[in-house]
Amino acid sequence: MTNEPNAEDPHAYDFRAIQAKWQARWEQMGLFTVDPDDRRPRKYILEMFPYPSGDLHMGHAENWALGDFVARYWRQQGFNVLHPIGWDSFGLPAENAAIKRGVDPREWTYANIEQQKESFKRYAPSFDWTTEIHTSDPEYYKWNQWLFLKMYEKGLAYRKDSWVNWDPVDQTVLANEQVLPDGTSDRSGAVVVKKKLTQWYFKITDYADRLLDDLNQLEGRWPAKVLAMQRNWIGRSVGADVDFVIEGRSEPITVFTTRPDTIFGVTFLVVAPDSDLATELVADAGVDDATRRAFDEYLVQTQATSEIDRQNADRPKTGVFTGRYALHPITGERMPIWAADYVLADYGHGAVMAVPAHDQRDLDFARVFDLPIRVVVDTNAPVTGAIPVIPEGASIDDLDLPPLDPKSTGVALAGQGRMINSGPLDGMSKQHAIQAAIELLEERGAGRAAKTYRLRDWLISRQRFWGTPIPIIHGADGTEYPVPEDELPVLLPNSAGLDLKPKGTSPLGGATEWVTVPNPVDGSPARRDADTMDTFVDSSWYFLRFLSPRDDTQAFDPERARMWAPVDQYVGGVEHAILHLLYARFVTKVLFDLGYVDFTEPFSALLNQGMVLSGGSKMSKSKGGVSLGDELDAHGVDAIRLVMGFAGPPEDDINWEDVSPAASVRFLARAYRLAVDVRSAPDVVWAEGDRALRQVTHRFLQDAPGLMESFKFNVVIARLMDLVNVTRKAVDQGPGPADPAVREAVETVALGLSVFAPYTGEEMWAKLGYEASVATYGWRKPDPTLLVQDSVTAVVQVNGKVRDSFEVAPGIEAGELERLARDSHAVRRYIGEREIVKVIVRAPKLVNIAIKP
């Protein structure tokens, strides 16, 4: 069989043969390998790297089509483009497959990579394959360990004992980011429970302000939705910390409040039952046994309640008295301390000053347990909005206003008003009183301005096998010894003989020889940390590894980072809006502080693609959706890539039922046949070509760059379709296939198409008499003399209805246009004897004539 497509029928568009031919040739040419000495301007284009799941699926196909359009476009604009590929190859699926099928996670992973690589190569993304990395290679994860050690040195990696999210199916802890809003695991779907464990954390909360404030730099370059999600996730609240002295305890209780102005309305304190503070309070000798027993029972009940339920404002309030009392920092009043599950242990300080008159949760609680309620804001005297008119000589109390008694109405007064019952704060507005209250507390050494965040520290230890070992050795006395940098990597042991089944502790603990090591100081028996790192650590800095992927002396080359990073265009799914992007932003800032990079945001621009849906739901093999492999076999790579661009704006979901790969094939065949039909040589004189066709071509050249750069791929493809149609007309009915304008148009189609449908573009380019590859040729610049419009269409309306239209020069005078309109045969015949009342002329496009009916 010949390797030349269509040897017999030159017009037949045989996409299978074209694919086979070019895939092999491109592979030999190594087209997209970046030359480090190349001095042209640079662009770093990156798609979120894949987890090696085997074959490519529809979601991959969309992601890499869109990213590749961008990469190929910039290359054709003369940029030196880095477009790398690697594999996020640590993680649970390998391990779960290993348990289910008894295979080695390593073998499973690397076999998948091989398979996926083959599918990728057929799909033709313009990758620099020399960058290929696997995060599960020791050459990569060594640098995860290095990063851990750097964090550890800076005090940003630490171990603590705390309540963590526990996935009872996968038997591992989860980061907060991995718990879905309905309280289930984003991995296994199991309902997440709380478990107390000693775990490693990265101190992302130290960076909360910067992570929040730097989002402003990304405004307009990241999707607004992602920015909003990140802002919410970090969740900064501004207010004050207030200290309450506890009777019989030297340490005060600190609470965080956003409403220090309501300090005189505090009537009790509430602590989170599952906080250490609560346990300590009831452990005091002064607390009687019955109170302690009631607390213990309540704690058990709290631990069985999900976070979501605890935050549900509508749930009836429950709680127990701790037997202890606090003193008000200003009035000295004695106030009971309660424990209730609506207060969360890990927000603020795990304790609140309850202001039942003005906070609904506190009010509900006070009404259940009959605690005092004190109004300190008069919301009948609002500071903004409708101010009640108080007659001369009267006071607000003389007005007949509805009673605002939260105790009887059950509605807390959250609105604005003037302070009352608040000593020195009386009469102030909220904003004013917040300031004054903070000053008052500061004077007494009992409080200060404070901020708190929803963001928690990043829990990075996992009790699973297939991940990066944590480079720490634990001495018998509990001392932590970081593994020295020159002893990295701490290699993952072989899985053979290990029980990988989830059991709540890491399988690495069972690798006796691996785990037992001499204490680095005195040689006594010590143990390696047996947990592995969250795989989001791997992906938090991988974009830097691509810059010097084979460097075995450092994680990445800072010089290359200065040249290439940050990533100019990042492309990926919105499912990573929080997790991965937040972690990568955090690690970038840490690397900046350590002096390794000179920028603080990793991804200058972000494009989120929508999902590919079938029957309204996300496509997946298990749900019997359409398989990418079948679609590629039936219609070819180019038609599927083209569909991904043509379906609509990239952020929108694609309903596979609404697109037509078959129509894409027909269009590509039409374009291809034009290249076969061209009858002029590459050295024609463009200026001698048909002007009308040249104008269409040059308008495309003029508009396409702006459209590409704003990701309006569907519009660019529609314009290419239009250009193909106009050119076909010129070949069949116009100046014919030998006209230079036809060649110019078809070359433009080949160059433009090669972004979306690289096989077809390349084959057309060859048919046009050029050397491969079309991908490395630049787009022609539009000729301004061809962009001026020769004429515009003027429309004549009579009483609002169009009666005639004709071509006029764009610069026509209003008087001349009116004369043409009045002279129009169609208009004269329509008006007949009727009287013209008014003529409005909007040159050059419209004449409006009003007549008597």
User: Which parts of 733-834 fold into alpha helices (H)?
Assistant: 740-756, 758-767, 814-823, 825-831
Nearest distance in Å: CB 343, ligand ANZ: 4
194 or 259: CB nearest ligand ANZ: 259
Q: In what order do the strands lie in the sheet with 472-474?
A: 480-482, 472-474, 525-528, 516-518
Q: How many chain residues bind ligand ANZ (CB under 6 A)?
A: 18
- 112 to 47, 55, 87, 104, 367: CA distances (angstroms): 19, 8, 10, 12, 61
Task: Select the residue interacting with ligand ANZ from 72, 328, 358, 474 (CB under 6 A).
Answer: 358
What residues have CB less than 8 Å from 390, skipping those under 6 apart?
A: 396, 398, 399
Nearest Cα to Cα of residue 60 among 458, 571, 443, 557: 571
Interacting residues with ligand ANZ between 771 and 790 (CB under 6 A):
none
Q: What is the DSSP letter of 783?
A: P
Give the separation between CA 50 and CA 740, rounded to whole angstroms: 45
When asked if residue 350 is in the footprint of ligand ANZ (CB under 6 A), the reply is yes
258 or 614: CB nearest ligand ANZ: 258
Give the separation between CA 133 and CA 297, rounded to whole angstroms: 53
Per-residue mark of binding to ligand ANZ, 567-606 (x: CB under 6 A): ----------------------------------------
Specify whether the CB–CB gap between 428 and 418 falls below 8 A.
yes
Task: Select the residue interacting with ligand ANZ from 97, 245, 344, 498 (CB under 6 A).
Answer: 344
Give the separation between CA 430 and CA 438, rounded to whole angstroms: 12
Structure tokens at 158: 């630490």
Give the separation between CA 727 and CA 692, rounded to whole angstroms: 10
Nearest distance in Å: CB 563, ligand ANZ: 43
Stretch that binds ligand ANZ, among 292-300, 342-350, 483-491, 808-816 (CB under 6 A): 342-350
238 or 814: CB nearest ligand ANZ: 238
When asked if residue 355 is in the footprint of ligand ANZ (CB under 6 A), the reply is yes
When asked if residue 347 is in the footprint of ligand ANZ (CB under 6 A), the reply is yes
When asked if residue 353 is in the footprint of ligand ANZ (CB under 6 A), the reply is yes
Nearest distance in Å: CB 302, ligand ANZ: 12
- 3-state SS, 480-530, equals EEECCHHHCCCCCCCCCCCCCCCCCCCHHHHCHHHHEEECCCCCCEEEECC
When asked if residue 738 is in the footprint of ligand ANZ (CB under 6 A), the reply is no
Interacting residues with ligand ANZ between 229 and 288 (CB under 6 A):
237, 256-259, 262, 272
Interacting residues with ligand ANZ between 792 and 811 (CB under 6 A):
none
Cβ density class 521-556: b for 16+ within 10 Å, e for less:
eeeeebbbbbbbbbbbbbbbbbbbbbbbbeeeeebb
Beta pairing class for 792-798 and 846-851: parallel
Nearest distance in Å: CB 235, ligand ANZ: 7
Nearest Cα to Cα of residue 245 among 479, 445, 495: 445
377 or 746: CB nearest ligand ANZ: 377
Interacting residues with ligand ANZ between 616 and 675 (CB under 6 A):
none
452 or 680: CB nearest ligand ANZ: 452
When asked if residue 343 is in the footprint of ligand ANZ (CB under 6 A), the reply is yes
Nearest distance in Å: CB 272, ligand ANZ: 6
Specify whether the CB–CB gap between 192 and 174 falls below 8 A.
yes
Stretch that binds ligand ANZ, among 218-226, 353-361, 480-488, 790-798 (CB under 6 A): 353-361
Beta strands in 286-389 (DSSP E): 320-327, 334-339, 351-354, 377-378
Beta pairing class for 84-87 and 80-82: unpaired
416 or 614: CB nearest ligand ANZ: 416
Beta strands in 232-299 (DSSP E): 236-246, 253-257, 268-271
Nearest distance in Å: CB 367, ligand ANZ: 15
Number of H helices and number of E strands within the chain?
Answer: 27, 32
Stretch that binds ligand ANZ, among 210-218, 279-287, 295-303, 352-360 (CB under 6 A): 352-360
Nearest distance in Å: CB 291, ligand ANZ: 22
Surface-to-core class of residue 9, CB atoms within 10 Å of its CB (0-12 exposed, 13-18 middle, 19+ buried): exposed
Stretch that binds ligand ANZ, among 165-173, 351-359, 582-590, 682-690 (CB under 6 A): 351-359
Nearest distance in Å: CB 845, ligand ANZ: 56
CB neighbours of residue 393 within 10 Å: 6
337 or 796: CB nearest ligand ANZ: 337
What residues have CB less than 8 Å from 267, skipping those under 6 apart?
A: 335, 354, 355, 356, 366, 371, 372, 373, 374
- Segment (H or E) for 634: helix 628-635
Nearest distance in Å: CB 620, ligand ANZ: 37
Nearest Cα to Cα of residue 434 among 242, 254, 268, 246: 242
Nearest Cα to Cα of residue 607 among 708, 688, 480: 708
415 or 734: CB nearest ligand ANZ: 415
258 or 416: CB nearest ligand ANZ: 258
Task: Select the residue interacting with ligand ANZ from 170, 177, 274, 359 (CB under 6 A).
Answer: 359
259 or 589: CB nearest ligand ANZ: 259
The residue length of the chain stands at: 853
Q: What is the DSSP letter of 598?
A: S
Task: Select the residue interacting with ligand ANZ from 352, 492, 582, 590 (CB under 6 A).
Answer: 352
Nearest distance in Å: CB 414, ligand ANZ: 7
When asked if residue 421 is in the footprint of ligand ANZ (CB under 6 A), the reply is no
207 or 268: CB nearest ligand ANZ: 268
Structure tokens at 27: 């592979």
Task: Select the residue interacting with ligand ANZ from 59, 319, 348, 689 (CB under 6 A).
Answer: 348
272 or 642: CB nearest ligand ANZ: 272
Stretch that binds ligand ANZ, among 91-99, 354-362, 386-394, 664-672 (CB under 6 A): 354-362
Per-residue mark of binding to ligand ANZ, 451-490 (x: CB under 6 A): -x--------------------------------------
Structure tokens at 314: 């509508």
261 or 568: CB nearest ligand ANZ: 261
83 or 358: CB nearest ligand ANZ: 358
- Map residue 160 onto helix, strand or coil: strand
> Where on the chain is the footprint of ligand ANZ (CB under 6 A)?
237, 256-259, 262, 272, 343-344, 347-348, 350, 352-353, 355, 358-359, 452
